[in-house]
Amino acid sequence: MKHLSLPLTKEERLALRAGDCVLLSGTVYTARDCAHRRFFELLDQGLPLPFDPHGAFIYYAGPCPAPAGKACGSCGPTTSARMNTFAPRLLHEGLGGMIGKGEMSAETREALKQCGAVYFAAIGGAGAMYGNAIGKMELVAFPELLSEAVYRLEVHDFPLVVAHDAHGGTVY
């Protein structure tokens, strides 16, 4: 199993192929449907996003509250297809890629290819395992969205599959 550390260089992203199983560590940002809508409102007004998108990875996830002594609660991926309307524009803003579950659209795959970015699939339903692999969790934006707010997570050895690579390859 290949170990990867974020941020990934463009060369590292280009070296990944659909179907590769990897263990990913580093900083990711959570965002789901509502947070993405807010990102677009900010971009439409010419305002910056709550985090620098260049090379950043968004994790499509909304965690459970953290039990005592833990940084984060159960935190597996949500269905990525709901973010197809948002992903291409964010990739063109410089995003390094995304983590979620399930296949994404042809438009998103084309944007990944154009931008040299990569989409990883986490294993849906394995929330406890992913939550337990999060060492640190900080609120970044939109606290009123509760579990759907944007959080910065420090993840350690996330088990992932390269689902859509930067060359148009797909595991699905």
Partner 1 sequence: MRTLDTNEISAAVYRLARKAGTTLSDSCRAALARALDGETGAAKFALETALENEIVAKREGMPVCQDTGMAVVLLTLGQDIFLTGAPLRDAVNDGVRRAYRDGCFRKSICDPLTRENTGDNTPAHLHVEIAAGDKAEIVFLPKGFGSENMSRLCMLTPAEGRDGILNFIVNTVKEAGSRPCPPVYVGVGIGGSFDSCAFLAKKALIREVGTDHPRQDVAAIEHEALARINALGIGAQGFHGKTTAIGVSCEVAPTHIAGLPVAVNIQCHCVRCEKETL
Distance, CA of 67 to CA of 30 (rounded, Å): 19
* Helix-strand-coil split of the chain, %, nearest 5: 30, 30, 40
For position 172 contacting partner 1 by CB under 8 A, the verdict is yes
Q: Are 153 and 130 in contact (CB under 8 A)?
A: no
Q: Which of 17, 54, 125, 138 binds partner 1 (CB under 8 A)?
A: 125
C-alpha pair distances (Å), 96 with each of 88, 122, 126, 166, 171: 12, 16, 24, 10, 19
Number of H helices, E strands in the chain: 5, 7
- SS3 category, 151: strand
For position 25 contacting partner 1 by CB under 8 A, the verdict is no
Stretch that binds partner 1, among 6-14, 90-98, 106-114, 125-133 (CB under 8 A): 125-133
Q: Which of 21, 42, 47, 139 binds partner 1 (CB under 8 A)?
A: 21
Distance, CA of 15 to CA of 19 (rounded, Å): 12
The pattern of x and - marking residues 67 through 106 that bind partner 1 according to CB under 8 A reads x--x--xxxx-xx-x-------------------xxx---
Size of the site for partner 1 (CB under 8 A): 37
CA angle 7/29/63 to nearest 5° reads 135
Q: Cβ 45 to partner 1, closest distance in Å?
A: 21
Nearer to partner 1, 15 or 81 (CB): 81
Q: Which of 14, 15, 23, 34 binds partner 1 (CB under 8 A)?
A: 34
For position 171 contacting partner 1 by CB under 8 A, the verdict is yes
For position 7 contacting partner 1 by CB under 8 A, the verdict is no
Buried residues in 50-59 as b, exposed as e (16+ CB within 10 A): bbebebbbbb
Nearer to partner 1, 92 or 106 (CB): 106
Looking at residues 40 to 59 of the shown chain, list those that interact with partner 1 (rule: CB under 8 A): none
Q: Are 109 and 20 in contact (CB under 8 A)?
A: no
Applying CB under 8 A, the residues found at the interface with partner 1 are 19, 21, 34, 61-67, 70, 73-76, 78-79, 81, 101-103, 121, 123-129, 131-132, 146-147, 159, 161, 171-172
